[in-house]
Amino acid sequence: MATRILLLADTHVPKRARGLPAQVLSAVDHADVVFHAGDWVDAATLDVLESRARRLVGVWGNNDGGELRARLPEVARVELEGLRFAMVHETGAAAGREARCAARFPDADVLVFGHSHIPWDSTAATGLRLLNPGSPTDRRRQPACTYLTAVADAGKLRDIRLVPVDRTL
């Protein structure tokens, strides 16, 4: 059975936006599993996603304070449809990222990360897929705010799509 996945990171509510955009909340409602790779900034955003998501997997980021760090791990690991996911907020510099992350997460098929607000999709020599959804609220030198959607199905990750956020909705 295929699992619809939504990947988020770096929401920075309320510093970069008053709340999550309606488009993002709709995507949460349609996903089977929501990943959030840290920098929530406020616990209210965690509460919103916990109340709406069928299943939520989250980690804390460098801008997350004590309450979020108490509720979330630094690294999360889950298995979906035969794929082993790991998630962490920060992976360091872009140069050498694939090799560094493959060494740090040798038992993962997919690594979800955030921090840069810059979308990323690459594959390490080991086969580890690295995905950063960007930010749905702070585009930081990017043409648009973004998130990622994907489908986990029978040990494969397919239909990976970078989705721009329409801020007029």
Give yes or no for a contact between 57 and 79, defined as CB atoms under 8 angstroms apart. no
CA 115 and chain centroid, separation = 10
d(C-alpha 101, C-alpha 83), whole Å: 17
| Digit-coded pLDDT (tens) for 128-141 | 999 999 999 998 88
- Assess if residue 169 is contained within a domain: no
Supply the pLDDT for residue 57: 98
Say whether pLDDT at 17 is over 90. no
What is the domain range of residue 8? 3-164
Residues 56-79 have a mean pLDDT of 98
Say whether pLDDT at 121 is over 70. yes
| 147-163 as b/e: b if 16+ CB within 10 A | bbbbbbbeeebeeeebb
For the chain, how many structural domains are there in total? 1
Residues 22-45 have a mean pLDDT of 97
- Assess if residue 69 is contained within a domain: yes
Say whether pLDDT at 159 is over 90. yes
> What CATH number does residue 107 fall under?
3.60.21.10
Say whether pLDDT at 169 is over 70. no
Q: For residue 137, give both structure tokens.
A: 């609220």
Supply the pLDDT for residue 168: 60
Closest CA to 59 of 113, 14, 103, 116: 113
Supply the pLDDT for residue 18: 82
User: What is the gyration radius of the CA atoms in the chain, in angstroms?
Assistant: 15
pTM for this entry: 0.96
